[in-house]
Amino acid sequence: MKTRKQQIGIIGCGGIATNKHLPALSQLSDLCELVAFCDTHEERATDAAMKYGVPGAKVTTDYKKLLADGNLDAVHVLTPNNSHAPITVAAFQAGKHVLVEKPMAATSSDALKMVEAAEKSGKKFTVGYQNRLRSEVQTLKSACNTGQLGEIYFAKAHAIRRKAVPTWGVFQDKAQQGGGPLIDIGTHALDLTLWMMDNWKPKRVTGSVFSKLANQTDGNLWGPWDTAKFEVEDSAFGFIQMENGATIYLEASWILNMINPREAATTLCGTKGGAEILASGDLVFNRAAHGALLEEKISGGSGPAYFGGVAQKPADVEARGWLETLINGAEPLVLPRQALVTTQILEAIYESHRQGGKGIEL
């Protein structure tokens, strides 16, 4: 029996749509059709529809009109953080499945509204933490699941850039995004770390947030930014204590005077051994055996010379997995209540800073 193709609508046709979601979905014409596009800038929606949509794909600047289409199965919400909640809640009320980009929301109260709307609707819901699907991350997760590290009681979540401030879109707009590198890239590192530990019960969070280098544009990877519009932090750090006593240190920055930055990476320390993902993408396990300290390095590596094949991008794997979830009725890889916890912790780091470093109970 031939599987019916999922009818997908795209809400938000900016950079994250055109660089990640649309190229991935366009390779999966056996599973889906891109039939509707929405953006507050009509020309962006039109351009996306012409390049990626089926013939006659609908274009609108009003997401409510897109959601009114009874033929749509699911929507991808790819808008600024502060709009995730209202659009996602409306999508569930309209009977659609939803994939929303990370972070789930700018605030935990908004994230909870989204989770509750999903559970009430009975529709599928996931969040775009595609870094879980990198090959070295999958290897590390397998090791954690089989107990190779023992009890993981200390971890570091790394999201550090030396100087790579995004100069496009609304990344520096606090009202639309809710924050800077902590909510932008720190969210990936924290998700990976919590997922590896399989520990979603935070107890207490303290944090420090800085805006020390926002006026120093020299040397930025993507060129200088408009310092007058830089409204968010440039660095943030959090100390997270879990209910079972485990502890996580989270570091996030777009600009840090540090020689060896690494992003979307984690360091795990367990009772049987440790592991960490390096800036190179290599995975290193460490343990004691035979009366000595041992290290085992698993390289990301490249294929044989002249070989044209490459591993699938995490975004491509994410898109296929999501569509197969919709077709088969399975649970998505990223569960909404997991993403809610991540949002709660990020918000608590900001709140701790506002309260002078006071510990925030969760």
Percent over 90 (pLDDT), the chain:
93
Is residue 19 within 8 A of residue 85, CB to CB? The reply is: no
Query: Which whole number is the average pLDDT over 177-205?
Result: 98
pLDDT of residue 202: 98
Question: Are 62 and 189 contained in the same domain?
Answer: no
pLDDT bin (cut points 50, 70, 90) of residue 307 is: very low
Q: Please indicate, yes or no, whether residues 319 and 276 belong to a single structural domain of this protein.
A: no
Percent of the chain with pLDDT over 70: 96
Q: Over range 338-342, report the average pLDDT.
A: 98
Q: Does residue 177 fall inside a structural domain? A: yes
For residue 140, being part of any structural domain is answered with yes
Are 34 and 54 within 8 A, CB to CB? yes
Residue 302 has pLDDT above 60, yes or no: no
In a domain, 22, yes or no: yes
Q: With a cut of 90, say whether residue 168 has pLDDT above it.
A: yes
Q: Do 160 and 198 reside in the same domain of the chain? A: yes
In a domain, 173, yes or no: yes
How does residue 1 score in pLDDT terms, banded at 50, 70 and 90?
Answer: low
pLDDT at 190: 98
Query: 273 — alpha (psi -120 to 50), left (phi > 0) or beta?
Result: left
Contact 40, 78 (CB under 8 A): no
Q: How do 74-77 and 97-101 pair as beta strands?
A: parallel
Same domain, 160 and 184: yes
Same domain flag for 137 and 124: no
pLDDT exceeds cutoff 70 at 81: yes
Residue 155 lies in a domain: yes
Q: For residue 43, what pLDDT is reported? A: 97
Same domain, 105 and 207: no
Q: pLDDT averaged over the chain? A: 95
Domain assignment of residue 178, yes or no: yes
pLDDT at 3: 73
- Please tell me the predicted confidence (pLDDT) of residue 54: 97
pLDDT at 300 over 70: no
* 321 assigned to some structural domain: yes
Q: What is the CATH number of the domain that holds 82?
A: 3.40.50.720
Rounded mean pLDDT, 48-77: 97
Q: Are residues 93 and 16 in the same domain?
A: yes
Q: What is the mean pLDDT of residues 149-169?
A: 97
Q: Could you tell me the residue range of the domain that residue 21 belongs to? A: 6-128+315-330
> From its phi and psi, is residue 290 left (phi > 0), alpha (psi between -120 and 50) or beta?
left
Residue 81 in tokens = 């953080």
Report which of 68, 74, 62, 95 is spatially closest to residue 21, judged by C-alpha positions: 74
Model's pTM, two decimal places? 0.95
Of 269, 259, 263, 243, the closest CA to residue 251 belongs to 263
Question: Both 189 and 256 in a single domain?
Answer: yes
User: Can you give the pLDDT at residue 306?
Assistant: 43
pLDDT at 45 over 70: yes
User: Do residues 76 and 101 both lie within one domain?
Assistant: yes
Domain count, the chain: 2
Is the pLDDT assigned to residue 2 strictly greater than 70? no
Q: Which CA distances in Å does 24 have to 47, 218, 319?
A: 17, 34, 6
For the segment 267-271, the average pLDDT, to the nearest whole number, is 98
Nearest alpha carbon to residue 326 among 98, 103, 64, 116: 98
Condensed to tens digits (0 to 9), the pLDDT of residues 17-35 reads: 999 999 999 999 999 999 9
pLDDT band per the 50, 70, 90 thresholds, residue 299: confident
Does residue 325 share a domain with residue 290? no
Q: Are residues 144 and 249 in the same domain?
A: yes
Same domain, 116 and 149: no
